[in-house]
Copies of this chain bind each other. A is one copy, B any other.
């Protein structure tokens, strides 16, 4: 059995109160006592039980995180900066990976509640009613990262997805493209599904670019679905000269599909992605992408959450909108209608 505070106290010949005090760095302990206690701690290899501590302090230093898919380069990057920021503030992460699995999410939310985590970070927005209800009466600070659920009650750290999608589309238009395909996300998602689609649509409308229904398709953000949707688009009699995919993974899938069809990016088709994940630099041609400030997003998410936890939520009642940025690489080219 690991030694307990009582053992240390006995070993040092003091009360547990005193041991507790030196453990917590309180003043009001004479130096010689402090030294004796410290020695006892070292000799016994004592480490205080965080469990017991949490129970009395009513604080676990735990943050529950719900990630849709740690395997995605976007989410894994966000997760890594969340972890980093949390760790810097002495918080630990309880990580839950949900792959479109509502039951698992419900279960984890329950676990977070049981664990009495100090705060929760959620990175997806496809919530059914059961989850919504649970979340609302959870009484634990919650923050959404990279997504914004319809419920106004919660704070989100996001970019302006509408504007970002608009700007990405405009980039293609400004390159001279007239036939612009779109590979969207899940339309149940407000942020990354609906808003990005509307941004695309409005850009087309504002610049008088024709809307072709066959060029508008929806995937699940993953590479494979980008591939499939692109395949369908290439099956059109006249296919687009440019494609905007709302995730880098899908954009890469689209590029691969184009490649496998014997066409070239960007000579035959331009492709622009979304996220600015590390994949953009790992493929050839390197992928032009509408970049989200992923690192900042993770950091700000944790900072805001810690504000909420410590009760400084006065000003935190508002969403944080981070800036998006078009990063031009090699996958888009101007279209010359000759």
Binding site for B on A (CB under 8 A): 2, 45, 47-52, 54-55, 60, 69-71, 73, 76-77, 79-80, 83-84, 87, 92-97, 104, 107-108, 110-111, 113-116, 137, 139, 223, 249, 252-253, 255-256, 259-260, 278-279, 281-284
Contacts and interface: CB of A to CB of B under 8 A. Distances in A.
Given A69-B80, A83-B95, A115-B51, A259 B278 contact: no
Nearest to A284: B259
Nearest to A256: B284
Copies in the complex: 2
B70 A70 contact: yes
Contacts of A94: 92-95
Nearest to A87: B104
Given A92-B115, A252-B282, A70 B79 contact: yes
A49 B256 contact: no
Contacts of A139: 2
A256 B282 contact: yes
B96 A95 contact: no
Contacts of A48: 114
Nearest to A259: B284
18 contacts: A2-B139, A47-B110, A51-B51, A51-B60, A51-B115, A51-B116, A71-B76, A71-B80, A73-B73, A76-B76, A80-B97, A83-B96, A92-B94, A94-B94, A223-B278, A252-B282, A255-B284, A284-B284
A89 to B, nearest CB: 13
Given A92-B94, A252-B282, A83 B54 contact: no
A96 B104 contact: no
Contacts of A259: 284
B116 A50 contact: yes
A81 to B, nearest CB: 9
B279 A47 contact: no
A281 B252 CA distance: 10
